[in-house]
Amino acid sequence: MTVTSTAYAEGGTIPRRFTCDGADVSPPLAVTGVPARTASLALLLQDLDAPHGAFTHWLAWNIGRGTARLAAGERPPGATEGRNGFGRTGYGGPCPPRGDRPHRYVLTVYATDRRPALSPDATPADLRKALTGHTLAEGTLTGRYGR
């Protein structure tokens, strides 16, 4: 699967609009190459360079299998969104400590052969466990942001 955004290229700088310094809305996304047997999609956005280990910015599952695009700020259709590292449900944009080198933000989209039964307070580890043996394909998009 391929995950792209019209807002930034793979490895590119995430525009301010999609961060805590801007409107803090999710970037537009497109997903191609979703396998035919897909029952649902899931996504996970994490800052891999956070000071205390991977920090979750967005966690969602049971996204409609036919979802090929999300507009900026759009909630994934049919999805359950989990709690991010800020303690809020839904998207929370990049917000690295001031003065740090730009952090890497990895958005992974998973195609699954079932709809995971998770509670809204599920963690990234819970999602990964639920997807074990049920992931048909995955794709990533990495962006960078520094303050």
Task: Give the chain's domains with CATH numbers.
Answer: 2-145 (3.90.280.10)
What H or E segment, with its residue span, contains residue 64?
A: strand 55-64
| CA-based torsion, 147, 91, 111, 52: positive or negative | positive
| Residue 60 and residue 92 in contact, taking contact as beta carbons nearer than 8 Å | no
- How far apart are the C-alpha atoms of 106 and 73, rounded to whole Å? 18
How many CA atoms within 13 Å lie on the side-chain side of 105? 26
Q: How many CB atoms lie within 10 A of CB 94?
A: 25
> pLDDT 10s per residue in the chain (147 long)?
999 999 999 999 999 999 999 999 999 999 999 999 999 999 999 999 999 999 999 999 999 999 999 999 999 988 999 999 999 999 999 999 999 999 999 999 999 999 999 998 899 999 999 999 999 999 999 999 999
- How far apart are the C-alpha atoms of 26 and 34, rounded to whole Å? 21
What pLDDT shows up at residue 120?
87
Sheet arrangement for strand 2-4: 2-4, 29-32, 69-70
pTM of the model: 0.95
